[in-house]
Chains A and B, each alone.
Chain A
Amino acid sequence: MPVAIERDTILVRLVSGKLPDRGDTYLNKKNELHAIFLSKDRLYCKWRLQPFLLNAAFYCEQPLNPEVMDLRIFDVTDIHFDGTNAHAVTCMKIGRQDKDWTIKGLKKDRSYICELGYLTKDFTFWPILQSHPVHTSYEFDHGYIVKLKAAEDFYYHRTGVPNWVEHPDCRQTS
């Protein structure tokens, strides 16, 4: 099952001693990336990336071009995503000042995770924010039968966490 990583908090800890002098309030401002379905095949990405976090990221890994960010969407269906094992990845170049982006052409019955980051000097992708995972509608009418066993197992035996993508608020609850 895909799991999101709290990268932003790690970064703050890494460089906190050497950041420009900023108040606590500033550091407490939220950094987050949300992936929201607009329709069955469109995803709306919305993020809040505070300058202090971006500066921290630049401090750790110098950007190839500080004005250009990378928004990536990973197909993470049925895997524990570790940053390297996605079934597929699509990259979008966006401006540093952009705050949202709509991704079209999602496939049915797939799990996706989005990441916002940039290319470093050595041309590798350096992620800053990661979204919660989302799962698109079934591909064919009886698609639910494929999930029937897992659903029944969970329903009758309540075995740990479900092995499908759930609403992020539900995941935080459990």
Chain B
Amino acid sequence: MNHSVSTIIMANDPFKPLALAGAKSNSEDIKRLMDVHGRLLVHAHNQPAGKPLVAVVNLFTLGWLNGVRGKMVVKSFLEDQKEFAATELLMQANGSFIEAFRSLMKEQKLLLLPVSLSQFPLTAYTIKEAAKEDLQRTAVLWKELFGSAPISIWLPRGAFTAGLDALLLQEGCKCVFLPAGALPDRDHASFKGVSPHGLPVVTYNEPDGEINNRIIASTASFSELIFSLFSQKDGEAALDSAILRSRTVIQFPFCYENVDDRPLATPEELQRCETVFELKNEWTEKCVQSISEASSILDVEWAYCVYASFHQFDEELAGAADSLRYLLDGARKDFPDLDYAHQRLRLHYGIQLFSAGEVHPVERMDGAVLLITWEYPPNIIGGMARHVHGLAEALSSSGRDVIVLTASHHGSPAFETAGNVHIYRTGPLHHGEQDFLKQTSDLNLCLYQKGTELIDKHGIKLIHTHDWLTGDAAALLAKQHQLPLISTIHATEHGRNNGLHNELQHAIALKEKALIAASDTLIVCSQPMKEELRVYYEAGKKDIFVIPNGVEFEEVSSPFTRFSHFQPFVFSIGRMVFEKGFQTFFDLHLKSLKKENIQFIIAGKGPLLETWREEVNRRGLQDRLHFVGYVSDEERRALLQTCEAAVFPSLYEPFGIVALEAMAFQKPVIAAATGGLKSFVLHKQTGLLFEAGNAEDLSEKIEFVLDEPEYAGELGRNGYEMARELYSWTHISAQTEKVYDQTVFIKKMEGVRT
């Protein structure tokens, strides 16, 4: 066996997501990021199988590269930098560094080691359990990216004390790396040791100064260890016992890199992190539960705050701390912004990490799903048909058997298959019934009868219904067959009418309550809807999951609206309140815009609508600025489809889904550099950012977009790609599947046959 000294490449570059967000593909930050990771790919590719390139990497960076932002940066970089050495390798991996790394790791040409997530010395935390949680978080993120536990977790500054070996073992690590200076007899080259808890110890030499981007040497025994690890069969946990027996048991009390020459940390460095540590004390288990399926965002944000604080990335720290405080504030009030939480996880950190509360891994449910819906294409009445259609197609693509049961529709067959989706249509018997409730009951009885037949025929294991219209059939089927019932509540009678004002509305609300009571789990499309169910529909004790709707990518059938005479126009929409920043429009340099006939349509209602309309008149801008008030969904989409650009001037905006919607229409988006908008409007990539409240800056950006239609088109196309990725049905169906799995799991725990 070859016991030559192994080399380790330190590719732990600083991670600054805010700096990367606005950077062009030829900026130094992006070039450096691509260069470091591209070189890893090329060198690993050239290694013989079984003799891997070993590299220590920054897990935040890898997560970011795996996220939507990272993927876009890689894409545009590859388009711009034709000479990039790793282009071919990346193209083979669909432009994904993670996929490329995974493939090389599988070929035993690459071995990556993450530094513990916060990169804070694990011996220096002044919070109980923080070191343990740091290691846990690192392992969880790593598993999400690479599918298995890391071989080891690199210790920041090499800081180790007895007992950390036990914590590393708990996370599935196979060895620990310690600085050679920690070795009692300094016999680094031939050292082969194992810790008292049974973790092989590998030592590495410590160059003076910063070791990032340096190549360091580890002991000979590491080669032997790698060989043993690669010889392991899948799922084999323990290392070859012969390897362990040949090692000296050694107990290290405390060590770190260059222990004889410099301190591990200074009091100033530790004090710098104290404010962030205090933040950790601000949230309780209740907050974590309140933020439900995205609860892990709190820990990940906090870990980044520690990282930024320790490394003195002040601007990045301010951004992450703001985000954490915003999420915490919502969680404390039991009203967390889950959309924002998901955004942060997927855009910023490139991970999903569903429900930290799911302590026990939930098995994927077997069997088919019965989707019951009032409408299904080609029968399209409202938005539900498209929603259920999108969901059914995506679930089916992920390998799930999907049976759709819906009302009959003139011209559509009673049974058809579209791809792998089986669609059954039946009822009502009396299409001409004038009493709406009676006709609905008629339909439900038909659906119930057909459903009974389908449950046995297709081995259905779960029923998923949409709104009260098919609630009776779903509840009856679930009860009779003892199947889990999930209901998606798209809207409520109370919400639609701003209260219940007549007998019909009360009757419908009762049906809605009955469905909610019969359901095991509820899905809603937004956080306010969740609150509505809790407050008005007595759903306080139910599991309610928020899964946002997909963004519509289809063009509207008729782009004509009552505003069609305003051409060409820039569009904006939002609630008429100060924080939406529409007052910025008043000070635009309208004359400097070359397209002098450009109009501004600003839609939405709110307390300031009349005030702003009066201001328009006072300034004599009636022929340019149009505060048009409320617009319907159809009108909004038509306006988005026909505008020259969409502007979102918010002074405060936690998320800004409407900007994503504009992106779905391939329109260039100009947004204020605030909050959530900043997280997906990437300057000069997926849109343009301007300083919030700065009319001059906004004027320049609008002028730029109007004068450079080709460039504007490119921004629109990039934005479209990003919106697709974020709000694709694939993603939404993946979230829905998790709700299915969890509901089936809970039902099983209740001892009900499934």
- Chain A residues in contact with chain B, CB under 8 A? 29-30, 32, 34, 36-40, 42, 44, 46, 100, 102, 109, 134-138, 141-145, 147-148, 150-152, 154-156, 162, 164-174
Query: 6 closest Cβ contacts across the A-B interface?
Result: A166-B163, A170-B163, A167-B163, A39-B263, A169-B132, A34-B126
Q: Compute how far the CA of A82 lies from the CA of B270 in the bound complex, rounded to whole angstroms.
A: 30
Partner of B196, one of A39, A134, A151: A151
Are A100 and B271 closer than 8 Å at their CB atoms?
A: yes
Which of B136-159 touch A at CB < 8 Å? none
Q: Which residues of A contact B361 (CB under 8 A)?
A: none
Tell me the minimal C-beta distance from A163 to chain B in angstroms: 10
Q: Compute how far the CA of A102 lies from the CA of B166 in the bound complex, rounded to whole angstroms.
A: 29
Return the chain B residue nearest A101 by Cβ: B267
Query: Are A136 and B122 CB-contacts (below 8 A) given A100-B267, A169-B130?
Result: no
Question: Can you list 6 contacts pairing A with B, beta carbon distance less than 8 Å?
Answer: A134-B254, A148-B249, A148-B250, A162-B196, A170-B163, A173-B170
Query: Are A169 and B129 CB-contacts (below 8 A) given A36-B270, A39-B262, A147-B251?
Result: yes
Return the chain A residue nearest B278 by Cβ: A48
Are B161 and A166 closer than 8 Å at their CB atoms?
A: yes
Are B250 and A144 closer than 8 Å at their CB atoms?
A: yes
Please tell me if B128 contacts chain A, counting CB pairs below 8 Å. yes
Q: Mark B188-199, 1 if CB is under 8 A from A, else 0.
A: 000000101110
Q: Compute how far the CA of A36 lies from the CA of B125 in the bound complex, rounded to whole angstroms.
A: 8
Tell me the minimal C-beta distance from B139 to chain A in angstroms: 14
Please tell me if B253 contacts chain A, counting CB pairs below 8 Å. yes
Return the chain A residue nearest B271 by Cβ: A100
Return the chain B residue nearest A168 by Cβ: B128
Q: Compute how far the CA of A136 lies from the CA of B122 in the bound complex, rounded to whole angstroms.
A: 16
Return the chain A residue nearest B266 by Cβ: A38
Are A37 and B254 closer than 8 Å at their CB atoms?
A: yes
Return the chain B residue nearest A143 by Cβ: B184
Tell me the minimal C-beta distance from A147 to chain B in angstroms: 5
Please tell me if B85 contacts chain A, counting CB pairs below 8 Å. no
Query: Are A135 and B161 CB-contacts (below 8 A) given A39-B264, A162-B196, A167-B123?
Result: yes
Number of interface residues of B (CB under 8 A): 44
Tell me the minimal C-beta distance from B135 to chain A in angstroms: 9
Tell me the minimal C-beta distance from A149 to chain B in angstroms: 10
Q: Compute how far the CA of A105 lies from the CA of B576 in the bound complex, rounded to whole angstroms.
A: 65
Please tell me if B241 contacts chain A, counting CB pairs below 8 Å. no
Return the chain A residue nearest B165 by Cβ: A170
Q: Mark B342-364, 1 if CB is under 8 A from A, else 0.
A: 00000000000000000000000
Q: Compute how far the CA of A168 lies from the CA of B164 in the bound complex, rounded to whole angstroms.
A: 9
Are A44 and B129 closer than 8 Å at their CB atoms?
A: no
Please tell me if B131 contacts chain A, counting CB pairs below 8 Å. yes
Are A37 and B123 closer than 8 Å at their CB atoms?
A: yes
Q: Mark B106-137, 1 if CB is under 8 A from A, else 0.
A: 00000000000000001111101111100000
A sample of 11 more A-B contacts (CB under 8 A), given A134-B254, A164-B162, is A39-B264, A44-B124, A135-B253, A137-B259, A154-B197, A155-B197, A155-B249, A166-B166, A167-B123, A167-B164, A173-B167
Q: Which residues of A contact B162 (CB under 8 A)?
A: 135, 162, 164-167, 170
Q: Which residues of A contact B233 (CB under 8 A)?
A: none
Are A170 and B166 closer than 8 Å at their CB atoms?
A: yes
Are B185 and A167 closer than 8 Å at their CB atoms?
A: no
Q: Which residues of B contact A145 (CB under 8 A)?
A: 184
Q: Which residues of A contact B125 (CB under 8 A)?
A: 34, 36
Q: Compute how far the CA of A100 lies from the CA of B267 in the bound complex, rounded to whole angstroms.
A: 9
Return the chain A residue nearest B252 by Cβ: A144
Please tell me if B255 contacts chain A, counting CB pairs below 8 Å. yes
Q: Compute how far the CA of A76 lies from the CA of B167 in the bound complex, rounded to whole angstroms.
A: 25
Q: Which residues of A contact B502 (CB under 8 A)?
A: none
Return the chain B residue nearest A147 by Cβ: B251
Are A172 and B249 closer than 8 Å at their CB atoms?
A: no
Please tell me if B260 contacts chain A, counting CB pairs below 8 Å. yes
Are A38 and B264 closer than 8 Å at their CB atoms?
A: yes
Partner of A167, one of B122, B182, B251: B122
Q: Which residues of B contact A165 (CB under 8 A)?
A: 161-162, 253
Tell me the minimal C-beta distance from B245 to chain A in angstroms: 10
Q: Which residues of B contact A37 (CB under 8 A)?
A: 123-124, 161, 254, 264
Query: Are A155 and B167 CB-contacts (below 8 A) given A39-B264, A143-B184?
Result: no
Please tell me if B281 contacts chain A, counting CB pairs below 8 Å. yes
Q: Compute how far the CA of A86 lies from the CA of B124 in the bound complex, rounded to whole angstroms.
A: 25
Please tell me if B186 contacts chain A, counting CB pairs below 8 Å. yes
Q: Which residues of B contact A143 (CB under 8 A)?
A: 184
Q: Mark B590-621, 1 if CB is under 8 A from A, else 0.
A: 00000000000000000000000000000000
Partner of A136, one of B124, B166, B253: B253
Q: Compute how far the CA of A29 lies from the CA of B265 in the bound complex, rounded to whole angstroms.
A: 27
Return the chain B residue nearest A135 by Cβ: B253
Query: Are A169 and B265 CB-contacts (below 8 A) given A36-B124, A36-B126, A40-B259?
Result: no
Are A40 and B260 closer than 8 Å at their CB atoms?
A: yes
Partner of B185, one of A39, A42, A109, A141: A141
Partner of A151, one of B128, B163, B164, B251: B251
Q: Which residues of B contact A171 (CB under 8 A)?
A: 163
Query: Are A42 and B263 CB-contacts (below 8 A) given A144-B251, A167-B123?
Result: yes
Tell me the minimal C-beta distance from B246 to chain A in angstroms: 13
Are A167 and B263 closer than 8 Å at their CB atoms?
A: no
